[in-house]
Amino acid sequence: MKYLVYKILKYSLKPFYRLIFWPKYVGVNNIPSTGPFVMAGNHTSAADAAVIVSTPKRIIHTLSKKELFNTKFKNWFFRNMACIPVDRSIHDENAKSEAIETLKEGHAVGIFPEGTRNRTIGTKDEVSLLPFKPGAVKFALASGAPLLPFAVTGKHRIFRKGLKIEYGKPYYPKTNDVEKETEVLRNKILKLKEGGSQHEK
């Protein structure tokens, strides 16, 4: 069965994740139940991957660094976790094509537009969000799929409150200006991250 590993881990991980980290979910009903969408959010922890797997009822095909696929077993495992390998050192056209094709087939794609974990959190040089890469917007424009912004605030601390995962409303880019629309996406995620509520018409 395709994505069997994903499905097994999803249904075993979800209750475990909630038991261990006590997350508060906001806006879960904003996640489309059908059709393609690009799920894009901030990235502060390796545990953020569990957010993408555990919350939505659907399978989310996630852009993941190619280093995770460097053995035969790991390639099998992460492919069965619906991951799309991406070479972060280049403009990876293969990853881009696979993501767009996945969306055109009606599936969902998840991506962290910062491109890597924000390691400034908790340091004197802390920034709320790193600069965004344009991949999420490019995928949406090329496939006609909406963008679904989400934000993770607080920390993944065992048996401690404070972790919140908030989903904004899905929306379509209004222009073909990739740079401008990437900034729009960044602002929406920043608003969610800073505690704002996203109910734009």
Which residues are bridge partners to 151 per DSSP? 166
Kind of pairing, strands 164-167 and 147-153?
antiparallel
Q: Is residue 160 part of a domain?
A: yes
Residues 72-100 have a mean pLDDT of 92
CATH assignment of the domain containing 95: 3.40.1130.10
What sign does the CA torsion over 47, 51, 52, 58 have?
Answer: positive
pLDDT of residue 144 exceeding 80, the answer is yes
Q: Is residue 199 part of a domain?
A: no
More confident residue, 107 or 156: 107
Q: Is residue 200 part of a domain?
A: no
Number of domains in the chain: 1
Per-residue pLDDT, 194: 85
Contact between 110 and 63 (Cβ < 8 Å): yes
Contact between 71 and 179 (Cβ < 8 Å): no
Instruction: For residue 201, name the pLDDT band (cuts at 50, 70, 90).
Output: very low
pTM of this structure: 0.89
> What is the domain extent for residue 39?
4-193
